[in-house]
Structure 1
Amino acid sequence: MDNKEKVKNILNKLNEIVIYRNVINNSLIRKAIKIFQELLKEKPSIELIYAEYSSFYKDITEYAFKKRIYKNIWPTFLAEEIAYDENPFSRISEKYGFDAVSDLMIEAVEKEIGILKEFCSINIAGSVNNLLNTELPDFERYVDGSFFKSKISFTENVNTSHTLEDLWELKKDKFAEYLSDYYHSNGCGIFGKYKAFRWVTENGSGQLKGIENVDPITFEDLIGYEEEHKIVIENTKALLKGFPANNVLLYGDKGTGKSSTVKALLNEFYKEGLRLIEINKNDVKDLSYIIDIIKDRGMKFILFFDDLSFDESEVEYKELKSVLEGGVEILPSNVVIYATSNRRHIVTENIEDNELHNTDAREEKLSLSDRFGITVTFVSPSQEEYLKIVKGLAQKHNIEIEWNLLKEKALQWAIWHNGRSPRSAKQFIDHLRYEIYKKNTV
């Protein structure tokens, strides 16, 4: 089969794809298909091919640069599209695993991945240059490879026990099981691509937006508060293992690491299927809609309200209270709500004299925090605890400075800035690291 017949054959096969139709409808893949379609015409337009390839070249090299890869770019791109595709096969696999997939679906998946394997094996520039005697530059050689790594580079979400690095090396009868295991471990669609999300409302309509750069903080970075961390960690483990888990309120002084604790949970457990959705208090009204999106997924979710508080005039707290205490619709078993607050009672206790005797009204306003199954209190550290955090951070960053001097500077920093807290300790160490750098570079 000559090159032109090979291209014609693969284009005909692409039309037979059903389950992974979203993949071949990707804009970059459509550009490649359009180039091949033009190539197969009796009198192909070289001008049009150059124009389409120019656009394709720009997009594929931008992708490669972002992923820091310099070879196998086209197969890598296609593998990533497959990894993140949401279709009946990937959804079933995410939720239930390979055993739940029918034989007919397995057969269809293996056929379609086989077609995509053929497609990604075609050298686009080489095929055009060979048939039309053109000089299209090969995007696989766009940069000196010594600057980049060569392996497939998906997002850091991926559970390293199941990646798609070997997808194209597999035999056809192994495609479906391999992919199913991948989806079951890592999720699919947006929940496979990102580990953290923000609920964004625009023009009255809300949607989940994946967060590209998640704060990488871990529990190793959070010195002190070991008992507080342990409570939240154990509750999260229960969620991940399918046991009933409590909603959690992390209450306490500012700068004590409440929010950092929740973010550290995500970084600790995302490879076990944990995902986090950050929700603004003004979007509490959308809780039922958000829950409806995630309740049937194979992942576990923390709905995260950071720095939660309501003024007395705000009534949104009633919606949250209803969800927490279990109204007609209860929280799904794969969802918990974690919130941080500087207030013990999340709703402002501003009760007028004529209301003081109204027990029902008082309870209505002050009972929201009681609806959380677990409340973990973070208090500002004592001087001894503050200095322990400073010392731990100094050791972590290999800061060698005489202890009495370090202690003096740390206490001085706390007085001059935001008082004693883990946040203040970190800010002090960050400042000190730069001061040492300046001193050593003079």
Structure 2
Amino acid sequence: MTSGQEELLSRIATALERLAPAQTSATSWVAAPAYVWDGTGARTVERLDAPSLDLLRGIDLQKDMVVSNVARHAAGHAAHDMLLWGSRGMGKSALIRAAIRAAQSDAPDLIALVQVAPDALSGLAALFNELGREERRFIVYIDDLGFEDGDSTGPRQLRSWLEGGVEARPANVRIAVTSNRRAIVARHMSEQDDPINPRDAVDDRLALADRFGLSIGFHNCSQDDYLAIISGYAASLGLAFDEGDALEWSKRRGARSGRVAWHYVTELAGRAGRTL
């Protein structure tokens, strides 16, 4: 074969590649209640692990807003992107999962959860491209998100995804983010020392949080809420507990939260020789 013939065959092969249909995703986006996206592909989660909504206590207002918003999205109605921010261990991620499972209880095919690790954000455009071809609705969930100082790309991409940039999320997708900080990006006391306008730096960082239709705060629970959370879990599992012992557990941990309450219930189950 002459060099001219080889060149011609190469051109033909290149042209055929351009004409060939794009490779379809290997993921079946209607097969599972939840998925995990690693930046380049997805794996299915056959069972969505979430507590019952009635066991999420001390966050009634937050629960109502999240459950209602997820239900509206599942039904194809107008719904918000959500930022759940605030104290650690107060049920932010558990509430997202529980709201999805509640929406799936009557019609599991309507909606699914897709969890994205913070280090896989660069692959969100590819994920949106896949999800946008589906009729099913999705909550794309980013847990414990926080941008460090000097990271301008991440916040800029998130603003674009939320507010109609060229790679914005499709209509059948809503984004849910949990973060320990309302502003998502790091903030320091030095921001208050700006000699020109002490509010400019803070306002710029809060502007990202303002892109979410729902910005829902979670705060440290009271002693009564902490005991109510334990009571709910213990009753559902048939476990007895002593309030003084429960309070002593929280003192040793240095905090009261839903997570600390669940750790105490785990301790109760262990003492009783039970599995969870």
TM-score range, shorter chain: 0.7 to 0.9
Matched, 1:279 2:113: no
The aligned residue for residue 303 of structure 1 is: 140
* Alpha-carbon separation, structure 1, partners of 2:87 and 2:236: 25
TM-score, normalised to structure 2's length?
0.80
Which structure 1 residue ranges, 5 or more long, are not aligned? 1-87, 89-187
Which structure 2 residue ranges, 5 or more long, are not aligned? 1-23
The one-letter code sitting in structure 1 at the alignment partner of 2:133 is D
The aligned residue for residue 70 of structure 1 is: none
On the 8 A contact 1:197/1:278 being kept in 2, the answer is: yes
On the 8 A contact 1:300/1:335 being kept in 2, the answer is: yes
- Secondary structure of 1:367's match? helix
The one-letter code sitting in structure 1 at the alignment partner of 2:225 is E
Listed as ranges, the matches of 1:42-81 within 5 Å are none
* Alpha-carbon separation, structure 2, partners of 1:381 and 1:362: 27
- Secondary structure of 1:333's match? coil
The aligned residue for residue 433 of structure 1 is: 269
Listed as ranges, the matches of 1:269-418 within 5 Å are 269-270=103-104, 271-315=108-152, 316-350=154-188, 357=197, 363-401=203-241, 406-418=242-254
* Alpha-carbon separation, structure 1, partners of 2:28 and 2:65: 30
- Pairwise CA distance, 1:336: 0.2
RMSD: 2.4
* Alpha-carbon separation, structure 2, partners of 1:379 and 1:226: 12
- Pairwise CA distance, 1:332: 2.2
On the 8 A contact 2:55/2:229 being kept in 1, the answer is: no
* Alpha-carbon separation, structure 1, partners of 2:180 and 2:220: 12
The one-letter code sitting in structure 2 at the alignment partner of 1:304 is Y
The aligned residue for residue 37 of structure 2 is: 199
- Secondary structure of 1:192's match? coil
On the 8 A contact 1:355/1:361 being kept in 2, the answer is: no
Listed as ranges, the matches of 1:57-136 within 5 Å are none
Tell me which protein shows more helix as a share of its residues.
1
* Alpha-carbon separation, structure 2, partners of 1:290 and 1:360: 34
* Alpha-carbon separation, structure 2, partners of 1:254 and 1:309: 13
* Alpha-carbon separation, structure 2, partners of 1:389 and 1:354: 43
User: What whole-Å deviation, never above 9, does each CA across 1:102-155 have from its counterpart, x for those lacking one?
Assistant: xxxxxxxxxxxxxxxxxxxxxxxxxxxxxxxxxxxxxxxxxxxxxxxxxxxxxx
On the 8 A contact 1:249/1:376 being kept in 2, the answer is: yes
The one-letter code sitting in structure 1 at the alignment partner of 2:222 is S
- Pairwise CA distance, 1:191: 1.9
* Alpha-carbon separation, structure 2, partners of 1:267 and 1:191: 16
- Pairwise CA distance, 1:242: 1.3
One of 92, 104, 108 as aligned partner of 1:258: 92
- Secondary structure of 1:242's match? coil
The one-letter code sitting in structure 1 at the alignment partner of 2:42 is L
One of 247, 255, 259 as aligned partner of 1:419: 255
- Secondary structure of 2:273's match? helix
- Secondary structure of 1:259's match? helix
The aligned residue for residue 101 of structure 1 is: none
Tell me the matched-pair count. Answer: 244
* Alpha-carbon separation, structure 2, partners of 1:419 and 1:365: 28
- Secondary structure of 1:250's match? strand
One of 35, 58, 61 as aligned partner of 1:227: 61
User: What whole-Å deviation, never above 9, does each CA across 1:259-296 have from its counterpart, x for those lacking one?
Assistant: 00011122222315211111122322222221110012
User: Which has more radius of gyration?
Assistant: 1
* Alpha-carbon separation, structure 1, partners of 2:167 and 2:91: 32
User: What whole-Å deviation, never above 9, does each CA across 1:292-350 have from its counterpart, x for those lacking one?
Assistant: 10012121101101011111211211100111122245432211000111101111124
* Aligned residues with identical type, % of pairs: 29
* Alpha-carbon separation, structure 2, partners of 1:413 and 1:253: 19
- Judging changes above 3 Å, is the alpha-carbon distance between structure 1 residues 210 and 317 closer, same or farther for their aligned structure 2 residues? same
Matched, 1:242 2:48: no
Tell me which protein shows more strand as a share of its residues.
2
On the 8 A contact 1:240/1:272 being kept in 2, the answer is: no
The one-letter code sitting in structure 2 at the alignment partner of 1:417 is R
